[in-house]
Structure 1
Amino acid sequence: MTAASEIIRIAAKGDGVTADGRHVPLSAPGDRLSAEGGLIHGPHHTDPPCKHFPLCGGCQLQHLDQESLAAYVRDRVVGALAGQGVAAEQILPAHISPERSRRRAALRAVRFGKKLHLGFSSENSHRVVDMEMCEILHPALFALTEPLRALVHDLVEDRRAAQVKMTLTDQGIDLLLENVGADGLSVAERLTGFAQFHGLARLSVDEGFGPQTRWEPEPVTVSFGGVPVPFPPFAFLQATVDGEAALVEAVRQAVGASGIIADLFSGLGTFALSLGEGRAVYAAEAARDAVLALKSAGNRVQRKLVADHRDLFRRPLVPAELDRFEAVILDPPRAGAREQVLQLAQSRVPVIAYVSCNPGSFARDAKLLVEAGYRLETVQPVGQFRWSTHVELVGVFRPVPLP
């Protein structure tokens, strides 16, 4: 058996790769290909904890041990940066969220006659894997899946799919049902009875015209830095409390004792509120409901916070605006923040903390900053979507010192 048959790394989409470039699904570093083409497991190959792996699209990497999983998350960042010719001064060890910690999930429900399948879709497929167990969902969310089968069975048309979206909030589970038929008094009573019996924080239904709340005994909130923020149904939220804490801490270390800071693509205020106590914060966000929620929360606790409804793709902050800040945080969507980064590249901002959910778009934006005279000081990789190929990170940029 030659060295060329050994799996030496995991590629971006989760396949193992041999020294001679062959891609091998469901392999781990140290595995070897036999002469007959089979796979001989090595020391980093572990038994997947979930019976649905690998059919369920929620996880792609359950066959990796903790060491290899952390290396994969870190290597995703290293590889993306290398592809753009960008070198970080330090790439920190990856932070991996624990199992059964996911606090939000979007499941699909499909009915076939009397049988309803509820779970994640298989990867690159419309097939729904009927969930009998889950090693990534928070136990409180998974516990609701069986009662949900009975609730939505008659609300989903035969051979049609509905969405079941759940989020853990300060008050409990926020449940949003999409593409279901929920007309009539009897259905309304069933929904209310279900929400009351299971102690839901809120139950909303979207029949194609936006979420309509059917049950909300008290206003639903999520808290950042101890500040409760009104939570729109299934609004964006970091996937795990653990992952959110790791991202916030990396940004906290970056901005240090900076005075006035800007939080761009601020969402509901994950960073603006977690890091904003005792200093002035400007927060910009395109989603109107998120801006109103953040503004309301900041006013209630009398923070020095300005929440601005602003589309940073169409109207990014320009250098004259950016130069007022001692630190800038940006947390854009997966596409990155090219328009805003081009303006940051012309600014004199002392420190930029870039939170990304896509190493590829981050690396492209990082190249623009580095070419403009910034150095990539540190990168903190974070794998809060445990066992998936989804990787997040915080990159810290500072101006290159003048000679």
Structure 2
Amino acid sequence: METFIIDRVGGQGDGVARTPAGPVFAGLTLPGETVRGQVVDGRLEGVEIVTPSPDRIAPVSPQYGDCGGCSLQHWAEGPYLDWKREQVRLALARERIETEIEATIATPPGSRRRVALHARRDADGRVVLGFKARRSWRLVEVTACPVADPRIVQAIPVLAQVAAAFFEHPKSAPTLHVTWTLTGLDVDVTGVERRSGGGLSADARTQAVQAAHRADLARLSLAGEILVMARQPTVAFGLATVALPAGGFLQAAPPAEAAMTARAVAAVKGAKKVADLFCGAGTFTFPLATVAPVIAADASKPGIDALKSAVGSARGMKAITAEARDLFRRPMTPYDLKGCDAIVFDPPRAGAIEQTAQIATTKAAVVVGVSCNPQTFARDARVLIDAGFRLDAVTPIDQFLWSAHVELVAVFRR
């Protein structure tokens, strides 16, 4: 057994001790703590807390320590949120960017409306739903989850019955992507082996549909293919009610979404025309349309179709036009964005370097960047700054509570 003092928490949420031989990573530890254990390949195994940090608090999940979902649940809110802010600063510093970084916006427990529940059969044949264990493919059964919407947690027993229909093939490892919507639970299942016959047999489909009815699901789909829909799952984006596409993207926590959209709308006040790039089904489009006409684009045709269908569901908005377009292969050019004096972009984790290069050459006065990856955001921000934009402020958003994940909203001005 070796003893170490934790110097900091690294970008993946593990404590890091500095040693002459290099860093040693220790999961579930905090800065200043004295810990001991056995070092294996640069990681401390069998971690024992000798001297706890004053910032250590009691975790609230019964799966804490085993479940891989909440690696920072033991950290007091203040220093935990400060650490997330620091991760954004470090990412920007790597691109030599300095700006005001606001305090991290917190997301309350019980507000996650989207979770991915992995399904497995145990030795007795019982179907178990849960999350992956820390640094393992092993499944940790979920009995309670302080992060998820309580209505999702309450539905876990009936969701296990739904999952039972998807084990027809021995190689299947179903994952239930569960979303709480305005009309109830929407479940899209992935990880099901596609047999030569084209997927589930007729018997398995019947079993899945019957289980969905018993669970009172609004909709059940298999990799985006609808198996049964009792009610159209809908979500509210600003003043609009949008029919959520099966398997479509949706921000995980409504409070985080509200914080992001509020900052985007405030930044474009006074604009005559706004572009919303990587718009999905309209998360930002509809709130932005209360300010100015919006042109929206995204690679997802189902998302764009849902957006277009929802345009008539709300009054008091400016005109919206939307296009299904792969913004990686065919980014919107200055010609496409002509007349847009404000641009909002919210790309996937890979960032949007091709689209950002086009935005940099437009005449837009304001650009709002929304990101789920501070590293790729910093790279894209450097392109805009080099083109003459000033990064006014960045707001970190703690959408994924007690994880190492941090999102942000940033405002650039000429």
TM-score by length of 1: 0.89
Which secondary structure does the structure 1 equivalent of 2:141 belong to? coil
Tell me which residue corresponds to 2:241. Answer: 228
Deviations 1:128-151 (A, max 9, x none): 111122111111111111122234
Tell me which residue corresponds to 1:71. Answer: 82
Tell me which residue corresponds to 2:33. Answer: 31
**Contact 1:166 1:234 survives alignment (8 Å):** no
Query: Which one of 155, 159, 169 corresponds to residue 148 of structure 1?
Result: 159
Which secondary structure does the structure 2 equivalent of 1:109 belong to? strand
Q: How many residues align?
A: 390
Deviation at 1:25, TM superposition (A): 2.2
Structure 2 vs 1, CA of residues 282 and 35 (structure 1 numbering), >3 Å: closer, same or farther? closer
Q: Supply the AA of the counterpart residue of 2:398.
A: G
Cα distance in 2 for partners of 1:155, 1:283 equals 37
| 1:62 maps onto 2:61 in alignment | no
Query: Which one of 211, 227, 231 corresponds to residue 213 of structure 1?
Result: 227
Cα distance in 2 for partners of 1:167, 1:212 equals 15
**Contact 1:103 1:240 survives alignment (8 Å):** yes
Q: Which moved more, 1:21-30 or 1:141-150?
A: 21-30
Deviation at 1:158, TM superposition (A): 5.4
Q: Supply the AA of the counterpart residue of 2:11.
A: A
| 1:258 maps onto 2:275 in alignment | no
Tell me which residue corresponds to 1:116. Answer: 127
| 1:44 maps onto 2:50 in alignment | no
Structure 2 vs 1, CA of residues 136 and 277 (structure 1 numbering), >3 Å: closer, same or farther? same
Q: Which moved more, 1:189-198 or 1:125-134?
A: 189-198
Structure 2 vs 1, CA of residues 58 and 315 (structure 1 numbering), >3 Å: closer, same or farther? same
| 1:173 maps onto 2:188 in alignment | no
Structure 2 vs 1, CA of residues 80 and 184 (structure 1 numbering), >3 Å: closer, same or farther? same
Which secondary structure does the structure 2 equivalent of 1:320 belong to? coil
Structure 2 vs 1, CA of residues 38 and 130 (structure 1 numbering), >3 Å: closer, same or farther? closer
Tell me which residue corresponds to 2:42. Answer: none
Which secondary structure does the structure 2 equivalent of 1:62 belong to? coil
Alignment root-mean-square deviation, CA: 2.4
Cα distance in 1 for partners of 2:94, 2:166 equals 48
Query: Structure 1: which 5+ runs fail to align?
Result: none
Which secondary structure does the structure 1 equivalent of 2:236 belong to? strand
| 1:183 maps onto 2:185 in alignment | no
Tell me which residue corresponds to 1:286. Answer: 299
Deviation at 1:252, TM superposition (A): 1.8
TM-score by length of 2: 0.87
Which secondary structure does the structure 2 equivalent of 1:328 belong to? strand
Deviation at 1:198, TM superposition (A): 3.5
- Written as runs of structure 1 = structure 2, the 5 A alignment for 1:194-343 is 194-206=211-223, 210-214=224-228, 216-277=229-290, 279-301=292-314, 303=317, 304-343=319-358
Which secondary structure does the structure 1 equivalent of 2:330 belong to? coil
**Contact 2:235 2:243 survives alignment (8 Å):** yes
Q: Supply the AA of the counterpart residue of 1:255.
A: V
Deviation at 1:193, TM superposition (A): 4.4
Q: Which moved more, 1:358-367 or 1:251-260?
A: 251-260
**Contact 1:110 1:160 survives alignment (8 Å):** no
Which secondary structure does the structure 1 equivalent of 2:128 belong to? strand
Which secondary structure does the structure 2 equivalent of 1:117 belong to? strand
Which secondary structure does the structure 1 equivalent of 2:220 belong to? strand
Tell me which residue corresponds to 1:358. Answer: 373
Deviations 1:110-145 (A, max 9, x none): 113423231111244321111122111111111111
Deviation at 1:9, TM superposition (A): 3.0
Q: Supply the AA of the counterpart residue of 2:411.
A: V
Which secondary structure does the structure 2 equivalent of 1:161 belong to? coil
Query: Which one of 110, 113, 118 corresponds to residue 103 of structure 1?
Result: 113
Cα distance in 2 for partners of 1:357, 1:84 equals 17
Q: Which moved more, 1:117-126 or 1:344-353?
A: 117-126
**Contact 1:182 1:205 survives alignment (8 Å):** no
Deviation at 1:199, TM superposition (A): 3.0
Deviation at 1:188, TM superposition (A): 5.3
**Contact 2:165 2:207 survives alignment (8 Å):** no
Query: Structure 2: which 5+ runs fail to align?
Result: 39-46, 194-198
